[in-house]
Structure 1
Amino acid sequence: MKINKYNSLVFAMLFGFGLTSQAQSKQWTLEECVRYALENNITIKLTELDLKTAAIDKKGAIGNYLPSVNANASHSWNIGLNQNITTGLLENQTTQYSSVGASVGVDIYKGLQNQNNLRRANLSIVAAKYQLLKMQEDISLNVASAFLQILSNKEDLKVKKEQLAIDEKRFARSEEMVNAGTIPRGDLFDLKATVATDKQNIAVSENNLLISKLSLAQLLQLKEFADFDVVDDNKLEDQNNILAQSPIEIYDKAKEIRTDLKLAQTNLEIAEKNVVIAKGAYQPTLSAFYNFNTRASYSDIITGSTLNTANPTSQIGYVQGTNQPVLRDNYSSVLGNAQPIFDQFNDNKGQSFGLQLSVPIFNGFSARNNVERNKVNLEKSKIDLEQKSLDLQRNVYTAFTDAKAALNTYEASTVTLEARQQAYNYAKEKYDVGLMNSFDFTQAQTLLTNAQSDVIRTKYDYMFKIKILEFYFGIPIVPIITK
């Protein structure tokens, strides 16, 4: 117990500057806290990125309708023993080649997968929007809970300080009475212990208040939170008269507007579309293609021929009967530089185009297994939607019952506080005239303090239960603007 007490005191000292400067800092209203959280909370920002990812996926689905166009170019060197394209002989040489090409492909029919992928992408965007809205609603409730906790801790600290002030006055008066011999000195020791206990309770309450402020500041993603504070809004009223509605009316309204159900329904539609896309793999695909290419060589070319003067003729045979030799003239090729590269590109152009049909026959059961897998996911989505509907009904009835019970508890604690206050006043009168000892009076005072704490606790518990019930009825803390 001592360790926890000392830790609390040290924690309070570390942020003591924040507590002393609260009067000069901005005080946040509940609406301001919620709006700030919706704009700056990290979890919401991550969910917004999921929405952007879904939009990118839609662009990809649209791109599947468009033809694919690719261009290519290459330049190569062949070094060593390779065929001379001019003479046809194998020679040790270095040759260079350049080639340029382009290709176009387009899907004509693909089992309607492109169309279904686009429909699924549109549904994914809707689901991402619902997910973002759900996250915003959850953060709003969390902020409201943290905000009300701060108010509750503030009132609790106020009660503890008022109690300390009363006990310190009693202690000072009792010292005078002891000195006068009116009351025994033992009563003074009891009061001294009571004052010390009051100070300890204040330290705990200050620590609880500081922790609740830090919790809300973290929800808001505030970097400077040493002097963070909220407006002391202690209004307790059912402004929208939500308890006048019946549970079935609230449930019917919740079924129309609750984001949980809309998200589950959209996920079901996505699962149905996934099954259709998977079945598209059973169907043949037809695509069209067009290719263009051209090339150029940097090798010398034959521009003509000339008689070989060193060896002008060569014998190729004999005349039958006379054995007279048959000669032929020997010509040598005249080599020239390669044609200009752009002329070669123009002369060597080639094109090809056609259709390609692919019919799935057997693929290791991959297509069938994919269909079965998506059917299982579809069943899961159906069960999830049904479960969400049942959960919503249970949550609405539970929230309504909790709100009613919280109201009754608050009203009962208020009556108890009034009775405890009267009992305390009566005990104080008896104590002041010496008809009640210090121990019995302290007991009456403790009962009053407990009653005051119960009123504070039940008050803010009721306020939060009303916020939850309004949430199911479609009344947000602040209007949420969907993107």
Structure 2
Amino acid sequence: MKINKYNSLVFALLFGFGLSSQAQTKQWTLEECVRYAMDNNITIKQSELDIKNSTIDKKDAFGNYLPSVNGNASHSWNVGLNQNITTGLLENQTTQYSSVGLSANVDIYKGLQIQNTYRRAKLSIIASQYQLVKMQEDIALNVANAFLEILFNKENLKVRKEQLSIDEKRFARSEEMVNAGTIPRGDLFDLKATVATDKQNIIVAENSLLISKLSLAQLLQLKDFLDFDVIDDTNAKDENNILAQNPVDIYNKAKEIRTDLKIAQTNLEIAQKNVVIARGAYQPTLSAFYNFNTRASYSDIVTGTTINTQNPTSQIGFVDGTNQTVLTNNFSPVLGSPDGILDQFSNNKGQSFGFQLSVPIFNGFSVRNNVERSKVSLEKSKIELEQKSLDLQRNVYTAFTDAKGALNTYESSVVTLEARQQAYNYAKEKYDVGLMNSFDFTQAQTLLTNAQSDVIRTKYDYIFKIKILEFYFGIPIVPIITK
């Protein structure tokens, strides 16, 4: 059931491709494919966003040089039993208060952590930019591989169609020879089976071509892959004569330009900054502060006093000897409206400023552990850089050996094809005069078809491996333009 669903999907795609191919007006070059991928590939867009994040982190690090300034304001209601700030007595009342303030703080010295954090942020931007370039390089190689895969499938399909055309003509000729009694009817059945096999091979080749186009279209983020096609560029030459270079020279050049090493080197520098930043926590920190505040009350204030008419005097004691009562006047406060809000804010202003020194003495080994942890990360970065260098050396020598081997295989396959072509021509002459049966002739033809496929396969394998070797030598698929 799964096979039937798959075949239905493939045939539907092939049918849609056949309908749309007539309206096709554009064939993409390799350079156009690579540049389009640079502008539209999702992975590259994510790397570009990473650069923006690193830029924001740099702004954060620069902000540590600047003072922090904060303003505050509040308005409160006190309901119920609370102290009257005017009389000092507890009363059941509702009072309102407003206050505003401003505070500023600036780090003067923090173990050089601010300076080193800013330097680390700049290194992080460089690392993100290198990461974007690496992603572009990887996408370019992937696009080139997918591009060459389409060319391979197109040539393979062409060979299969040519083979079908030859077999159909041979089948028609064989029918005439059978009717004339020149060859037995059994040979005609073999040819009929051969034609059917050729048609099956064409369907497989068409499916492979369609899938390879789909793969490249998805890599380019194209939605309509049915109208997508590439220019047939089948030049299998070492135009830059890269195989004439010495592997040592290619490796030395690669060490200077390879983005992998630049990323590893930048990560090492970041790890070194992390160690310095962690050690800065051992040192004391000095900061300066400034605070300003003022307030206003909405409660009545005492504007004066007057004799309490209900209880004008009260006894406070007696005179010695005469026992005469000593009285005092009882005064009651005279309340008035509070001053204006702006006047109160102006009259109640207060300021404070100074310096604050913090000396780390013991923090549960947290500073020490952070330093040790950053040292471990530094060692890992050193090992990673060394490993990247070893990997690059191995990859360069492997790429050089693979390219040479691919060239030799391609040249051998060309020689084999020439020999198979001569053998086929000889077999065809014998078959045409009745000196060879259909089975033996079909075997010669199959060997020729296999040789043609081997030439196509080895040619594009050689082209791609040359591209990889050129890539290590600093020759890009197309010049990469960073934004």
AA in 1 matched with 2:13: L
The answer for the alignment partner of 1:92 in structure 2 is: 92
Deviations 1:193-224 (A, max 9, x none): 00000000000000000000000000000012
1:393: how far off?
0.6
AA in 1 matched with 2:44: I
After the TM superposition, which residues 345-384 of structure 1 pair with which residues of structure 2 at under 5 Å, given as runs? 345-384=345-384
The answer for the alignment partner of 2:145 in structure 1 is: 145
Q: CA–CA distance in 2 between the matches of 1:206 and 1:167? A: 19
The answer for the alignment partner of 2:305 in structure 1 is: 305
Q: Contact 1:12 / 1:206 at 8 angstroms: preserved in 2?
A: no
Q: Contact 1:284 / 1:359 at 8 angstroms: preserved in 2?
A: yes
Q: CA–CA distance in 2 between the matches of 1:103 and 1:144? A: 60
1:19: how far off?
3.5
The answer for the alignment partner of 2:253 in structure 1 is: 253
State whether structure 2 residue 118 is matched by structure 1 residue 118.
yes
Q: Contact 2:81 / 2:91 at 8 angstroms: preserved in 1?
A: yes
* Deviates further, 401-410 or 7-16: 7-16
State whether structure 2 residue 257 is matched by structure 1 residue 270.
no
1:310: how far off?
2.7
The answer for the alignment partner of 1:237 in structure 2 is: 237
Q: CA–CA distance in 1 between the matches of 2:301 and 2:314? A: 25
AA in 1 matched with 2:17: G
Structure 1 gaps of 5+ residues are none
Q: TM-score, normalised by structure 1?
A: 0.98
Q: CA–CA distance in 2 between the matches of 1:157 and 1:4? A: 23
State whether structure 2 residue 434 is matched by structure 1 residue 430.
no
The answer for the alignment partner of 1:163 in structure 2 is: 163
Q: CA–CA distance in 1 between the matches of 2:311 and 2:360? A: 67
Q: CA–CA distance in 2 between the matches of 1:206 and 1:168? A: 19
Q: Contact 2:14 / 2:207 at 8 angstroms: preserved in 1?
A: no
AA in 1 matched with 2:307: L
Q: CA–CA distance in 1 between the matches of 2:21 and 2:111? A: 67
After the TM superposition, which residues 63-462 of structure 1 pair with which residues of structure 2 at under 5 Å, given as runs? 63-462=63-462
The answer for the alignment partner of 1:16 in structure 2 is: 15
Q: Contact 2:403 / 2:465 at 8 angstroms: preserved in 1?
A: yes
Q: CA–CA distance in 2 between the matches of 1:86 and 1:290? A: 30
AA in 2 matched with 1:300: D
Percent identity over the alignment is: 80
Q: CA–CA distance in 2 between the matches of 1:201 and 1:176? A: 26
SS of structure 2 residue aligned to 1:104: strand
Q: CA–CA distance in 2 between the matches of 1:309 and 1:400? A: 114
* Deviates further, 365-374 or 5-14: 5-14
Q: Contact 1:316 / 1:326 at 8 angstroms: preserved in 2?
A: yes
State whether structure 2 residue 9 is matched by structure 1 residue 7.
no
Q: CA–CA distance in 2 between the matches of 1:234 and 1:271? A: 47
Q: CA–CA distance in 1 between the matches of 2:180 and 2:138? A: 63
1:8: how far off?
4.1
Q: CA–CA distance in 2 between the matches of 1:400 and 1:136? A: 23
AA in 2 matched with 1:53: N
Q: Contact 1:33 / 1:143 at 8 angstroms: preserved in 2?
A: yes
Write out the 4+ residue segments of structure 1 that deviate beyond 4 Å after TM superposition: 2-6
Q: Contact 1:8 / 1:204 at 8 angstroms: preserved in 2?
A: no
1:16: how far off?
2.0
CA pair 352-84 structure 1, distance change in 2 beyond 3 A: same
Q: Contact 1:83 / 1:89 at 8 angstroms: preserved in 2?
A: yes
Q: CA–CA distance in 2 between the matches of 1:397 and 1:51? A: 33
Q: Contact 1:73 / 1:101 at 8 angstroms: preserved in 2?
A: yes
Deviations 1:343-373 (A, max 9, x none): 1111111000111010111111111000000
1:20: how far off?
4.1
AA in 2 matched with 1:196: A
Q: Contact 1:156 / 1:456 at 8 angstroms: preserved in 2?
A: yes
1:90: how far off?
1.1
Count of paired positions: 482
The answer for the alignment partner of 1:470 in structure 2 is: 470
Q: CA–CA distance in 2 between the matches of 1:7 and 1:96? A: 78
Q: CA–CA distance in 2 between the matches of 1:110 and 1:388? A: 36
Q: CA–CA distance in 2 between the matches of 1:52 and 1:387? A: 29
1:12: how far off?
3.2
Q: CA–CA distance in 2 between the matches of 1:136 and 1:205? A: 31
Deviations 1:4-59 (A, max 9, x none): 58734641333422244335321100000000001100000001111110000000
SS of structure 1 residue aligned to 2:352: strand
Q: CA–CA distance in 2 between the matches of 1:161 and 1:343? A: 98
1:176: how far off?
1.4
1:313: how far off?
1.8
Q: CA–CA distance in 2 between the matches of 1:6 and 1:305? A: 102
SS of structure 1 residue aligned to 2:281: helix
* Deviates further, 273-282 or 308-317: 308-317
